[in-house]
A and B are shown apart, each in its own frame.
Chain A
Amino acid sequence: MGLQQSLPVERAAGGDRQRLDVREMLTRYGTFIALIVLIVVAALLSPRFLSPVNLMNVLRQTAIVGVLGIGMTFVILTAGIDLSVGATLALSAVMLAGTLESTGNIALAMLAAVLAGMAVGLGNGLGVTLGRVQPFVMTLGMLGIARSLAFLYTGGEPIPVLDRTFLTLGIGYLWKVPIPSIIFIAILIVAALVLRYTPFGRAVYAIGSNEEAARLSGIEVGRVKTSVYVISGFTAGIGAIMYCSQFASAPPIAGEGYELDAIAAVVVGGTSLFGGQGGVIGTFFGALIIGILSNVLNLMGVSPFAQPLAKGALIILAVLIVGRGRRG
């Protein structure tokens, strides 16, 4: 929960531990500082970067991975991981397109996408809690299952999405802001409030911090852990809605590798893979950093072959900085 929550501590801390505070500052605000630095550098390197059109593009492109990252944050806060979100997005997308094709009902189609995502999440959650399968293994298995179901459903071909009203969701604007970005921000705000102001949010942090202590304090660990995977499935379903409405198509290969981008956003955002530390605000900045980085590399005409290198280096750097601050 990094950003706002630290304020009372900082104030109460006074001046007694100056050196520690610098480190703490770096840990807490590191992601934000990195974002500012990146924006300044980007603006210097490419004059086109700060143009409104480009900025809106960045926001739109960040939305899908950002939304997946929010669900992923819940999972990682409990010291879990969800590798299945990209495949889940594909399954949700083809369910959406198929439902839209056969019924023409947009609301029903979006509901199908979200329910499919939540069903996959429920499977993950029950496997992790009742089945006691490690989250990594459970969601890796689910990645294969969901991806395969998407292929089987479509017979391997993309399903076109032609409904114009629906497509405005992906390409339209509201108050000059891309609609996907508005959805992203809305979900972000709800998620931040849930983590901070509900017993469920507290339980998520408690489990990630010390599962046994949480259990002995009467937290229903199984229920909470199952829920975070359902939330991750839900955000994958929302991601599918954004995907279909942006690309006017639902291919079974949709979202390939998105799980890694989502994890990267969470990690760059300062959430610990060991659970119990971090939050969705950080993930928001993390997703922006990754989005801006790709954007700048594109604007500068850097070879697409070299782009993953830059992204990879950034992730490692982020973890080095955050990890060092935390251990100190």
Chain B
Amino acid sequence: MNRNSPLLEVVGITRRFPGVTAVDGVDFSLRAGEVHALLGENGAGKSTLIKILGGALGKDRGTILLNGASVDFHSPADALAVGIAVIYQELVLCPHLSVAENVLMGHLPRAAGLGIDWPAANRRVAGVLAQLGVTIAPTTLVGRLSTAQQQLVEIAKALSRDSRILVLDEPSAALGQRDLEHLFGVMRLLREQGVALVYISHRLEEVFAIADRVSVLKDGRLVGHWPIGEVTMQGLVRAMTGRDLGVIGGAETDIAAPVRLEVRGLGRKDAFQDISLSLRAGEIVGIAGIVGSGRTELLRAIFGADQPETGEIEVDGVPVRLRSPVQALRHGLGLLPEDRKLQGLLLGRALRENVSLASLRRFTRFGILRPAQEERAVRALMGELQIVARGSGQSVETLSGGNQQKVVLARWLARQCGILLFDEPTRGVDVGAKEEIYRLIHALAASGAAVLIVSSELKELFAICPRILVMREGRLAGEFAGSHLREEEVVDAMLMGGRSDGTAAVATG
């Protein structure tokens, strides 16, 4: 296969959102008849990039060249018209209509008069499906099909519009092993027919199984692109997580310090099993693991946001049953959630209200809030965290990503929690704010708090955690501290399942 001139070329694409540059000067090229994998951790900019390619989002800067000619999209219809189809993770099919109606939606063949030429429609769809090597009757209702079959219908829909470029956004997330192999079969078939495919997945084994080339994004920038034969799994993980510092490590763990949090045999169906860990006062412990390893689910279960089914939790040596966040807070736990916009911030409300939300009791006497006290505490935290805002009354919606994250952090500082669970504390935050957050986490630990940190960035964990636990497929896959805290070993533990057996898929959950 030697089709060297790129079919699609993206040059210097940039897209900003308030407070964050989601895609920053990214170059990307796609040849006819190749499968190009696009990799990156959550928030790296993959979805923004493919939305721009699919016409769902506009770009602030940059050029999209199709066969060497510049194109500009204002809507998904524009992109479809020139042959680019994006199949998003959430399928957009009408379950109550037939396969044929879904595939030909908007351009069903007309019979004489106003009617639809059903025989012709079904014939055409059967033809497209046969081209994919799929045997689904065109008259079947889409709602009756499995997720895997629905994906194939989406692909058929794209092909029926003569799409030459197909973008698949994490198609494997909802597929079992057999369906996945079938999908790969279809992708190979399309590749032979000269279709260009962009494939997004978090599962590296899949990338090695199907891709011809791979591009890695991180923090909105392109880290690099390589022919698949020139990279290793470890190299890709390193590219995605951006480990480029030497081992720094934090302060040594004080083994005389009291254990604040003890977790034994914690499990939750389809998310994680048999997790045991302990956390001492003043300790910072990291949890590494790729997306889907159960790391976020574990933190939520410890905090009582989801209920674990097995295992027990002790706080300060006393067994507790945390049925809700309210109870977790009473025991001194705080959770910085993974997605600050969906789970952390009251976007339309003032900074002040966001900061004091978890500690309103502190500012209340006889049931009445004392605004002056609240204001003083909020101002003090704004100073301590160097939150840049016009004032405590500014709506958090208008703050930058880093400042928004600091507002959520400030909420837990105001609460004076002794056990802090941080999920991706620096996601979508610029470098300067990251360092301030690291400094703050160190200060918290130095003042006696116990901190558990989940992060996609190994660099981050290595920089602040003297002890790192690794999760893989919902289980603890290793614990590293002191002289064993080496990048290669941690990466190996994160991936081992996939490496020892080329076909094993990493569990999602």
User: Which chain A residues have a beta carbon within 8 Å of chain B's beta carbons?
Assistant: 5, 8-9, 12-14, 196-199, 201-203, 205-206, 209-210, 212-220, 276-277
Contact = CB atoms under 8 A, between A and B. Distances in A.
Interface stretch (B98-106, B152-160, B362-370, B440-448): B362-370
B176 interface: no
B343 interface: yes
Given A198-B369, A216-B337, A217-B411, A205 B364 contact: no
A206 B353 contact: yes
A13 B398 CA distance: 12
A277 B393 contact: no
A203 B252 CA distance: 41
Contact of A218 (B349, B353, B358, B394): B358
A198 B353 contact: no
A202 B369 CA distance: 10
Interface in B125-180: none
B368 A198 contact: yes
Given A12-B391, A216-B337, A218-B329, A276 B367 contact: no
A27 to B, nearest CB: 11
A216 B340 CA distance: 11
B360 A199 contact: yes
B346 interface: yes
Secondary structure dominating the interface of A: helix
Contact of A217 (B349, B358, B367): B358
Given A216-B325, A217-B325, A205 B349 contact: yes
B390 A202 contact: no
B221 to A, nearest CB: 30
Nearest to A209: B346
A213 B371 contact: no
Given A8-B391, A9-B391, A206-B353, A199 B346 contact: no
Contact of B357 (A8, A9, A12, A214): A214
B343 A202 contact: no
19 contacts: A9-B393, A12-B394, A196-B369, A197-B369, A198-B368, A199-B360, A199-B361, A202-B353, A205-B346, A206-B346, A206-B353, A206-B357, A209-B349, A210-B344, A210-B345, A214-B357, A216-B303, A216-B343, A218-B329
A277 B394 CA distance: 14
Contacts of B411: 217
Interface of B: 303, 305, 324-326, 328-329, 335, 337, 342-350, 353, 356-358, 360-361, 364, 367-369, 371, 390-391, 393-394, 411
Contacts of B305: 215-216
Contacts, number: 88
A277 B397 CA distance: 13
A212 B343 contact: yes
B325 A218 contact: yes
A213 B367 CA distance: 23
Nearest to A12: B391
A5 B371 CA distance: 12
A277 B348 contact: yes
Contacts of A210: 342-347
A13 B350 CA distance: 14
Contact of B349 (A198, A215, A276): A276
A216 B357 CA distance: 10
B167 to A, nearest CB: 29
B256 to A, nearest CB: 32
Contacts of A276: 346, 348-349
A219 B357 contact: yes
A14 B393 CA distance: 13
Contacts of A216: 303, 305, 325, 335, 337, 343-344
Nearest to A13: B390
A276 B324 CA distance: 23
Given A212-B342, A216-B305, A218-B325, A197 B335 contact: no
